[in-house]
A and B are shown apart, each in its own frame.
Chain A
Amino acid sequence: MNEEIIIAGFGGQGVLSMGKILAYSGVMQDMEVSWMPSYGPEMRGGTANVTVILSDSRISSPILKMYDTAIILNQQSMDKFEKFVKPGGLLLYDGNGITRHPQRKDINVFRVDAAEEASKMQSSKTFNMIVLGGYLKIRPIVSMENVMNGLKKSLPDRHHHMLPLNKAAIERGLEIVQEVQTV
């Protein structure tokens, strides 16, 4: 198993922490992992992305050009990363604010309306965990038990009272993710 993922969106959407939780879940499942953030000026300008790799074997390059999965959370990231999904790969996106939907016909496209769902759950902080749930429904590469262990590891102790809410958000994501097209 080797899954190469880019998660891209606005700063503040929880892009980097979602990647960290996914990476920690991989650690809990005894996989090799890497987490490579964009840390440059673009972080200060509003967009953020992180490359996460989970693998059964030693990871070579933590920086990639093509990805198995792109999780896209704003229009700029759609414009930038849609073309870098490998043919037959997965593009998962939140429809909120998207005016130009995915065009490619050679990739699997799923949609998770996490922003809308997070406002229904009355907690914008659940947004990234709803997206993560949606991803795990399509690619169950780590068990729910290890995701929860990973979440516990990556959240500071003072936020552990948020664990049940995060679990509920992941479960909501599992339910609401919709298929747009499969190849």
Chain B
Amino acid sequence: MREIRLMKGNEAIAEAAIRCGVDGYFGYPITPQSEIMETLMLEKPWEKTGMVVLQAESEIASINMVYGGAGCGKKVMTTSSSPGVSLMQEGITYLAGAELPCVVVNVVRGGPGLGTIQPAQSDYFQAVKGGGHGDYKLIVLAPSSVQEMADFVELAFDLAFKYRNPAMILSDGMIGQMMEKVEMKPFTPRWTDEEIVQMHPWATTGKPSSRERNIITSVELDANAFERFNHKLQAKYKQIEENEVRSEMFECEDADYLLVAYGSSARICQKAVQLLRAKGIKAGLLRPITLFPFPTKEIQALLGHVKGILSVELSAGQMVEDVRLAVEGKVKVEHFGRLGGVVHSPEEVVEALQSKIIGG
């Protein structure tokens, strides 16, 4: 029987984590995502599935606990919000450098600095372009509904293990705090130790006499060897770009004007498209679901009929750079977005398209 519940986005992440067989959650509270750990503590999954839930002493400790768990081939995750995710960046680049699968959730709030607790999308660069040091990429998923908050936990783990790479769910205070209907998947049991040994031969699960030691590290002092490793990473990212792009189109088939928006802003833009269509303006919405890999080809495929593009983000203009790279100057691309925790209304998006693209 389908199990429909009314849940906050944050609660859905916690419930989905228990249900998809996560082994460990390590986190530190911060608004607007504290309900994730609160829900886990209420549900007491250690009594049901054996999942560990631990409030660490800091975000830095959390991400390093994730490193340890991931090195053992376990399904481990952490969640935080912008300032907390900044603290985790060293650990995240180490995870990427050691090719460890894990899931990091960022329920973004307005920055820079300690900022505000209201929704923002100003951590796009940090999530997609690096954040930590070195040439690495995260697989970045952007849920735009509470249902996707639940579904993307499992998807993020699937992709993380498929590519041995950290995956990030980039959400924000709006999707985290709102309640919607969610259909929960049935419980999947946690992997047994034997399954982990079999599925993840790279993991540090204890050395049998039949193989060499497994070493989890991101250090390599021989530059030539490290260049070869970097090329291997780049080849992996290329493969991710070829295979894992996900996006959703809304009224794009005949669109003269295109909005590009992800997450909460995509929800607002869907309404804006309805308002624009009611005015007789043929607008459409392309919603990137994966931010890395970015739906470059999907945008390019629309350039035959699209005359102008507005990238709508709760930021000063970050994703707009990737939209411009996709468009290669063929049509006008502008940015619109409110900042610092203020959320734009669908009406403001309509006005922005009219003033910056149609009339501009």
Contacts and interface: CB of A to CB of B under 8 A. Distances in A.
Nearest to B272: A61
A171 to B, nearest CB: 24
B174 to A, nearest CB: 7
B270 interface: yes
A155 to B, nearest CB: 13
Contact of A63 (B4, B181, B345): B345
A32 to B, nearest CB: 7
B267 interface: yes
Contacts of B272: 61
A63 B174 contact: yes
B295 interface: no
Contacts of B118: 40
Contact of A64 (B6, B31, B346): B346
Q: Which of B31, B180, B345 has the most CB of A within 10 A?
A: B180
B172 to A, nearest CB: 12
B78 to A, nearest CB: 22
Contacts of A27: 4, 6, 181
A20 interface: yes
Interface in B1-29: 4, 6
A23 B146 CA distance: 14
Contact of A39 (B6, B177, B347): B177
Contacts of A32: 181
Nearest to A19: B179
A65 B271 CA distance: 11
A62 B177 CA distance: 11
Contacts of A62: 174, 178, 180, 267
Contacts of A37: 177-178
B352 interface: no
A85 to B, nearest CB: 15
B173 interface: yes
A35 B347 contact: no
A33 B268 contact: no
Nearest to A30: B4
B274 interface: yes
Given A61-B271, A65-B346, A40 B117 contact: yes
A36 B179 CA distance: 6
A60 B274 contact: yes
A39 B268 contact: no
A45 interface: no
B346 A36 contact: no
Contact of A65 (B4, B179, B180, B347): B347
A35 B178 contact: yes
A140 interface: no
A37 B173 CA distance: 11
A126 interface: no
Interface string A17-50: 0001001100100001111110111000000000
Given A24-B6, A41-B117, A36 B177 contact: yes
A34 B177 contact: no
B346 A35 contact: no
B205 interface: no
Given A24-B6, A62-B174, A65-B345, A39 B117 contact: yes
B345 A64 contact: yes
A167 interface: no
A153 interface: yes
Contacts of B178: 34-37, 62
A60 B267 contact: yes
A144 to B, nearest CB: 19
B341 interface: yes
B178 to A, nearest CB: 4
B271 A20 contact: no
Closest 5 CB pairs of A and B: A60-B270, A61-B271, A35-B179, A60-B271, A65-B345
25 contacts: A27-B4, A27-B6, A33-B6, A33-B179, A33-B180, A33-B181, A35-B178, A36-B174, A39-B117, A39-B177, A40-B117, A60-B271, A60-B274, A61-B270, A61-B272, A62-B178, A62-B180, A62-B267, A63-B267, A63-B268, A63-B345, A64-B271, A65-B346, A65-B347, A153-B6
